[in-house]
Amino acid sequence: MRTWHEMRRFPLAVRLLLVNQLGVNTGFYLLIPYLATHLTENLGLSAAVVGIVLGVRNLSQQGLFIIGGSASDRLGARGVIIAGCALRTLGFALFALGDGLTVLLAASVLSGLAGALFNPAVRAYLAQEAGEGKAEAFALFNVFATTGALIGPLLGSALLLVDFRTSALTAAGIFAVLTVAQALVLPARKVEPSGGGVLGDWREVLGNRAFVAFALAMVGMFTLENQLYLLLPDGARKATGWDGAAGIVFLVGTVANLALQLRITKRLKSQGNRARWIAIGLAVMGLAFLPPALTAGAVPVLAGALLLYLGIMIAQPFVMELIPRFGRPELTGTYFGIFYVVSGVAAALGNTAVGWAMDTGESGGHSWLPWVCCALFGLASAGAVAWLYRRGALPEPADPVRERSTV
């Protein structure tokens, strides 16, 4: 009830974007986790070809976030969000209807490009529309995203009892509904010119050393968030001998998120500079991996998962609130886009290190190794943010009176 009450404080456009994120994550996780199995078992593709198809989708999204961010600034976030959802509708429909490599690659490119368009655009639009309530808006955004990430796999596993095509068409249908809803509800906003070309915008953002340093410092957050889908499920399965144990981790985390996210954000927002809470949140995320490192069993894994969710709840809304404050409002989308490119590449390298630690730990009998590796990532990121804060490199929250005038 608290979530719905808080939602009603925001304009209709913000409320739609929150529901939109629930739908985006539901549709995405309904399909993508099962795509590799479909390509190998149903279509008989080799592991190498499957890797190409999945890699093209990931590269199309991670590598093109900067395009989506710039398009949001220059064309308006509304149109970019709508275009992104429409492209994902088409991409997921192609996964359902095609079985040739050319069609599958086209589906991968469209699906990845779609995410590259609407992810930075949604965050830019939300930051612009939420006014002084940015932190609360991004806290709600996290609640809806987490809930969708739980619903999606559950719905996907049920639909797969019919067949993969039904699952893919359902995912495409969700994005089609979102596209129509956005076209009908999201108001168009006047686009303020940035005063230069696209390359000039990129140079300005990349020349902001404090921003680039902050984006690199966030490698811990993105790497450790990804362990909700890699290390923690693997640890839960090994501890219990049950494949469904990972689902319990997600369920408990989602319930905790629904119950605590808004309370945490509202309480911390009034108690000191946001950068301090980002650093503390990252430290909690790192410490979350110590219980499974120290003691084997299901309880330490579950305790670690809850601590990880807690750290994300502390840090993430303030990270999203802070990004637009590094530069001019006319470049909000570009800042979000480049942030996701920089941190995404860094996190990919971090995940590679975690994967290496998992393999090395298993072969060498050092089961603690990947957990300690993740703890070090989190603590290093927390230290980096704390260092940037002490140097005065991170922007302070804006004047609330000034923010209210822009709502």
pLDDT of residue 399: 44
**Which of 233, 163, 186, 14 minimizes the C-alpha distance to 83?**
186
Cβ burial of 76 (10 Å; 0-12, 13-18, 19+) is: buried
pLDDT at residue 401, as a whole number: 36
Residue (of 302, 312, 167, 300) closest to 246 by Cα position: 302
Residue 368 class from Cβ within 10 Å (0-12 exposed, 13-18 middle, 19+ buried)? Answer: middle
pLDDT at 396: 74
- H runs (alpha helix) in 207-244: 209-217, 219-226, 231-240
Q: Which pLDDT belongs to residue 2?
A: 66
Q: For 281, which DSSP code?
A: H
Sole residue written with tokens 């093109």: 64
User: Chain centroid to CA 370: how far?
Assistant: 22
Which stretches of the chain score pLDDT less than 50?
399-407
CB-count burial class (<10 Å; 0-12, 13-18, 19+) for 85:
buried
Q: What is the pLDDT of residues 219-277, one digit of tens each?
A: 899 899 988 888 998 898 888 888 778 788 888 888 999 999 999 999 999 887 889 99
Record the tokens describing residue 242, joined without a space.
Answer: 């049950």
Q: What pLDDT is attached to residue 1?
A: 53
Read off the amino acid at residue 135. Answer: A
Backbone φ, ψ for residue 271 (5° rounding): -125, 70
HSE-CB for 174 with a 13 A CA cutoff: 24
d(CA 168, CA 314): 34
Q: What is the rounded distance in angstroms from the CA atom of residue 173 to the CA atom of residue 191? A: 30
CA Rg, the chain, in Å?
21
